[in-house]
Amino acid sequence: MITLAKRAGYCFGVRRAVQMAEENAAPDHPLYAAGPLIHNRHVIQDLRKRGVITAETLSEIPDGARVIIRAHGVPPEDIAALRHKGCTVLDATCPYVARIHKIAEEESKKGRAVLIFGKAGHPEVVGIAARCKTPLIAETKEDLMEILKKWSEFPLSVVCQTTFQKEICLEFVNIVKNTCNSAQIFDTICKATDLRQSEAQALALRSDFAVVIGDPSSSNSQSLYKLCAAYCPKVQFVQDAGELDLTGLTRAQQGFVTAGASTPDRIIEEVYRNMTDEIKTNSAESFEELLEQSLKTLHTGEKVTGVVTAINATDITVDLGVKQAGYIPTTELSDDPTYVVADNIHVGDEVEAFVVRVNDVEGWIMLSKKRLDAVKNWEVLEAAVESKEPMEGIIVDQNKGGVVALVKGIRVFIPASQTGLPREASFDSLMKTTQKLRITEVNTQRHRVVGSIKALLNESRKEAQAKIWETIEVGMKYQGVVKSFTSYGVFVDIGGVDGMVHISELSWGRVKHPSDVLSIGQEVEVYVIALDPEKKKISLGYRKAEDNPWTKFISTYHVNDVVNVKIVKFMPFGAFAEVLPGVDGLIHISQIADRRIGKPDEVLQIGQMVDAKIIGIDEEKKKISLSIRALLTGEEAPAQEAAE
């Protein structure tokens, strides 16, 4: 049985170059190629018959001639020289190669040396190196180690020849990463080459024989042959059917045919036919069927998959494996206003899209990624209603009835009652935020989707409540958020459960209202001082024991100490004075002056600072007795006088 690899033959870049040459060729008006257009002598010979002349040097190209640049690209000075000669230049450089040119130029401008993994002297590598101030080329591991001996401490930017063998490239990258601290690695292996090599490796592992078709001068064909030879016991490398050796092939054997990126379809067809005729197998698809797949015309509304080959400001180019070129306008990539093309689409990426319009005359197909994504995303949202899977969206709009979230590019309405905000609260706090929500209703006919943030918040709250009541104990500390005030205290959310901090537990000092100490939304550390599991009530404390002013007083002052105090209140029997914030002492009326007085205000004023002597401390009742008289006369009031 023989399998024809799906990715055998022309890649996008080669097919593009050959088509450009064929479309512009004219026997009576020669088109010159600056070097072999691609690495395949059969194609070069066919093009020569059409009027495409291969020039090995620029001197062979007449002034004012039409010139096509090869798929591998050329050094920039060659293009400048051609323009100086008055030539009309058609640039058929492969988009993948052109991307490497841009990287090399930009990295060189930054003062970085550019390390190229590739075959020295290969036209593509020559073109890349010509765009670098300091090009370093490594074809073998020995080359790389020699370069790193000198350049490992310098800033290096690493690119790879598009057709370089991926396994070797990965090995080289690991060496660079382990050796250099400031290396910048760029993935520049052609996606088509990568897929071709991966497919060939998979086929080689399960095959008895393989045939690789390509020109000996083709680097990617040689890499493909080496890869197949490493995994398959018998591999032939041929340029065409005339070089095939079919000796020993039997119906029972498993084999496959693949071809390098520069191999035309007709040669692959000839090789495949000769092999299938030899072993008389009908189990594989015919070459005509496989070729027809690549040449078929797509139709509006079809779902297609392609590989991104180029990106510009207005659209991206996609290789669909058909004769027309596909493109997606940037406006058809996504409905998400935050979507950034550079962050989501890269050359080599595989994308799915809908065919919007086909123009066979001009040879292009317009695609839309966002329309296909929309269909998929509607299906995802419909499934989420049944599965109750949480979705994530950005709040992008608001109205009187609620807010609108963008979920997978689809507008989801969230009623005010389902936002999780208090009634009459402003929606501004939700705007431009990312929220988790549940999809509760999807109506595809009316294009209406309804969601709820509150549903998930309630579920999370119930789970948190259950967890807290399983573990909570008196004395445990929690990080909470102030939810609301009352005249007698504060409600604090400790992770799904609200607890009450009584106003007396807010501060060791006097508090007129909770807002004097805390604010709504403030994060606070609280501790449990009482529990009532049956009524689901929790009493919390906020003031800290170490901040208790009485503790500070006891550790600082003693009887007979003199303190400077502030008069804060008058009573008929004396005056209260603040010793420390939160700690007051009593100056009995008999201890205010060195004479008998009728009222404290005969001598003192509210707010007045005076020195007083501590004449008594009752730790149990937390009371302090002070005396001004003791400082004036050297003695306290007589017991009889104090009693009166």
Predicted local confidence at residue 287, as pLDDT:
52
* H or E segment and range at residue 447: none
| Alpha helix segments (H runs only) across 187-301 | 191-205, 219-231, 265-279, 287-295
Beta bridge partner(s), residue 326: 318, 365
Predicted local confidence at residue 122, as pLDDT:
92
318-362 per-position pLDDT tens digit = 888 776 778 999 999 987 777 888 888 988 888 999 999 888 666
The string of DSSP letters for 301-343 reads T-EEEEEEEEE-SSEEEEE-SSSSEEEEEGGGT-S-TT--HHH
Predicted local confidence at residue 639, as pLDDT:
45
Q: What is the mean predicted confidence (pLDDT) over 127-136? A: 94
pLDDT at 404 over 60: yes
Q: What is the mean predicted confidence (pLDDT) over 492-504? A: 88
Q: Angle 189-192-198 (CA atoms, 0-180°, nearest 5)?
A: 85
Predicted local confidence at residue 277, as pLDDT:
78
Average pLDDT of the chain, as a whole number: 87
Q: How far apart are CA 79 and CA 92, in angstroms?
A: 12
For the ranges 563-567, 581-585, 631-635, the maximum mean pLDDT occurs at: 563-567
Predicted local confidence at residue 254, as pLDDT:
85
Q: Which residue has the higher pLDDT, 546 or 208?
A: 208
Q: What is the mean predicted confidence (pLDDT) over 170-180? A: 91
pLDDT at 290 over 60: no
pLDDT at 541 over 80: yes
Predicted local confidence at residue 283, as pLDDT:
40
pLDDT at 363 over 70: no
Q: What is the DSSP-derived secondary structure letter of residue 593?
A: S
What distances in angstroms separate CA 52 from CA 21, 31, 335, 373, 479, one per listed residue? 7, 5, 46, 44, 79
Q: What's the longest Cα–Cα distance across the chain?
A: 138
Q: What percent of the chain has pLDDT over 90?
A: 52
Q: How far apart are CA 245 and CA 538, in angstroms?
A: 88
Q: Which residue has the higher pLDDT, 468 or 43?
A: 43
Predicted local confidence at residue 84, as pLDDT:
94
Predicted local confidence at residue 284, as pLDDT:
43
62-86 per-position pLDDT tens digit = 999 999 999 999 999 999 999 999 9
Report the candidate in 601, 559, 565 with the shortest Cα–Cα distance to residue 584.
Answer: 565
pLDDT at 641 over 60: no
Q: How far apart are CA 489 and CA 509, in angstroms?
A: 15
Can you read off the two tokens belonging to residue 447?
Answer: 């294009």
pLDDT at 411 over 50: yes
Confidence class of residue 568 from pLDDT cuts 50, 70 and 90? very high
217-234 per-position pLDDT tens digit = 888 899 899 999 999 999
Predicted local confidence at residue 637, as pLDDT:
55
pLDDT at 574 over 50: yes
Predicted local confidence at residue 557, as pLDDT:
92
pLDDT at 47 over 90: yes
Which residues belong to the active site? 124
pLDDT at 202 over 90: no
Residue 60: count of CB within 10 angstroms of its CB:
12
Predicted local confidence at residue 462, as pLDDT:
81
Least confident of 282-291, 310-319, 414-423: 282-291
Q: Are strands 609-618 and 562-571 parallel, antiparallel or unpaired?
A: antiparallel
Q: What is the DSSP-derived secondary structure letter of residue 512?
A: S
> What angle do helix axes 287-295 and 265-279 make, rounded to 10 degrees?
160
Q: What is the mean predicted confidence (pLDDT) over 618-637? A: 86
Q: What percent of the chain has pLDDT over 70?
A: 94
Answer yes or no: are the C-beta atoms of 398 and 431 closer than 8 Å. Answer: yes
Using H for helix, E for strand and C for coil, what is the string for 509-523?
Answer: CCCCCHHHCCCCCCE
Report the candidate in 84, 89, 174, 159 with the shortest Cα–Cα distance to residue 124.
Answer: 159
Predicted local confidence at residue 58, as pLDDT:
93
Confidence class of residue 201 from pLDDT cuts 50, 70 and 90? confident
Predicted local confidence at residue 74, as pLDDT:
94
Can you read off the two tokens belonging to residue 615?
Answer: 């004449």
Burial class from Cβ neighbours inside 10 Å (0-12, 13-18, 19+) for residue 95 reads middle
pLDDT at 400 over 90: no
Confidence class of residue 575 from pLDDT cuts 50, 70 and 90? very high
365-382 per-position pLDDT tens digit = 899 998 888 888 888 999
